[in-house]
Amino acid sequence: MRTLTFGAALAAACLTAAAAPAAAPTIAASGAWARPTPPGATTGAVYLTLTNHGKAPDALISATSPAAAKVEFHSMSMAGGIMRMAPIAGPQAIAPGASLKFGPGGSHVMLIGLKGPLKAGAHVRLVLTFAKAGAVTVDAPVRADAPAADPMAGMKM
Ligand SMILES: [Cu+2]
């Protein structure tokens, strides 16, 4: 009887331990939005903030979207008066309590090979992959009232 009770307690403890890691999402996505694209556009930009609410460092590795053939993370920089963008190489670390921000004029999530225009009012799904948190799905609304300062338009100058 004593052995049986101990076995049951052990089984309960194992179940609790197994359930714990999945219960607490550590990466939160906030303020996600996408810029509408004109007909025929092959690329689009998504902006969002990713915050690490966990106690360990994590890193953003890659992303996919059903709306595009490929998703890249780009940084922006001014060179000789021309705004340039370049893919961000390697995993992007996010320390505990820190945020990774993608916003107009700065870095952005670039959709390459759009399967159709991003229409205001629709949503773009992103599946972000993190080193520890795994896959995080975000549905970014396509904003009709997108800010006027358009880094994508600036790049064409
Ligand atoms: Cu870009």
**Under a CB-based contact definition with an 8 Å cutoff, are residues 64 and 137 in contact?**
no
pLDDT digits (tens, 9 = 90+) for 46-56: 999 999 999 99
pLDDT digits (tens, 9 = 90+) for 66-125: 999 999 999 998 888 888 899 998 999 999 999 999 998 889 999 999 999 999 999 999
Classify residue 20: in a domain, yes or no. no
Quote the domain boundaries for residue 133. Answer: 25-155
Classify residue 83: in a domain, yes or no. yes
Of the candidates 108, 125, 141, the one whose C-alpha atom is nearest the C-alpha of residue 68 is 125
Classify residue 49: in a domain, yes or no. yes
pTM given for the model: 0.78
Domains identified in the chain, total number: 1
Classify residue 17: in a domain, yes or no. no
Classify residue 3: in a domain, yes or no. no
State the Cα–Cα distance between residues 26 and 89, nearest whole angstrom: 23
Query: What spacing in Å lies between the alpha carbon of 16 and ligand 1's midpoint?
Result: 44
Classify residue 5: in a domain, yes or no. no
Query: What spacing in Å lies between the alpha carbon of 45 and ligand 1's midpoint?
Result: 7
Classify residue 1: in a domain, yes or no. no
Query: What spacing in Å lies between the alpha carbon of 19 and ligand 1's midpoint?
Result: 39
109: left (phi over 0), alpha (psi -120 to 50) or beta: beta
The neighbourhood of ligand 1, an ion, using CB within 5 A, equals: 74, 85, 110
Query: Which CATH number is 50's domain given?
Result: 2.60.40.1890
